[in-house]
Amino acid sequence: MTHSVIKECVPRLRANISGKRLRELVDAALGVFCRQGYDRSQVADVAKVMGVAPGTIYLYVEGKEALFDLVIRHTAADNVEWLDDLEIPVPTPAPSATLAFLREVFHREGEWPLLEGALRLSSAPEIQTELAGVLREQYRLMARHRRGLVLLMRSALEFPGLAEEFVLGLRKRLLDGLTAYLTSRVHAGQIRPLADTAATAAVITQTIAWANLQRPFDPGLTQLAEEAVEKATLDLLVSGLLPTHPTP
């Protein structure tokens, strides 16, 4: 039976009839998209992971575009209960609907109160505390959205428009803010002189990204405790930025 025939034969149902299966589908698809990226991932790959026939997947989603959109929304959600309110099969999203949703998420989640507060000051009341707080804020935001960020990084250059929203949008805002912060504190004599502030900001974000988005999937490093990795990362970054003889 072809995909189109399956779509015509299956009535739309509430997902709570089989919500557990839909959650299993989303988790399986997330793993496939994270490993293979958007272009190389096929519905058949997800079916193989689940141990079902490809046609079974089309009982829940109309196709790969609908599945990718569903996974994106799943990684941005605080819980899985919303899946029970969907009608299945989940339809193919309208053009640009996935990007519009991501743009909304980036606007909502792409805020760094400690960084933004620090930028309003010409100097820190206590630089070590402030710097550690700014970097910890970024670390924990990345940790909270780990699955979604891995998915976006893997597919950024493949899904139309995603690179512009993610790489040139959200990430650029973070780098610009962190660069401005470092520049301000260097001028205040609270951070050691930097040869290239923008490059330093990029290295900081990539170090935090490695700890959160690559290290957890390295089979030789999965035994490390999350708290220990966070502390080691932040201690290393903070100590590397502070001057040898801090300004009083």
- Boundary of a domain, candidates 37, 61, 93: 93
Q: Which pLDDT belongs to residue 59?
A: 92
Strands (E), the chain: 13-14, 87-88
Instruction: Work out the angle between the directed axes of helices 197-209 and 127-144 (0-180°, nearest 10).
Output: 50
Q: Which pLDDT belongs to residue 84?
A: 83
CATH code for the domain of 79 = 1.10.10.60
Burial pattern 111-122, b for ≥16 Cβ within 10 A else e, equals ebebbeebeeee
Residue 82: domain span: 3-93
The answer to whether residues 135 and 218 belong to one domain is yes
* pTM for the structure as a whole: 0.80
Task: Return the SS3 of 217.
Answer: helix
- Boundary of a domain, candidates 65, 93, 121: 93
Is there a contact between 97 and 73 (Cβ–Cβ < 8 Å)? Answer: no
Torsion, Cα 68 74 80 83, to 10 degrees, reads -40
The answer to whether residues 47 and 117 belong to one domain is no
Residue 247 lies in a domain: no
Q: Which pLDDT belongs to residue 40?
A: 94
The answer to whether residues 79 and 143 belong to one domain is no
Q: Which pLDDT belongs to residue 106?
A: 83
CATH code for the domain of 231 = 1.10.357.10
The answer to whether residues 10 and 130 belong to one domain is no
- As given in the structure block, the two tokens for residue 23 are 């959650």
| Site of tokens 């698809």 | 29
Q: Which pLDDT belongs to residue 165?
A: 80
The answer to whether residues 79 and 113 belong to one domain is no
Cα distances from 38 to residues 41, 55, 87, 160, 183, in angstroms, run: 5, 20, 24, 10, 38
Residue 167 lies in a domain: yes
CA gap 166, 80 in Å, rounded: 24
How many domains does the chain divide into?
2
- As given in the structure block, the two tokens for residue 99 are 């990007």
The answer to whether residues 111 and 88 belong to one domain is no
* Residues with pLDDT less than 70, the chain: 1-18, 110, 245-248
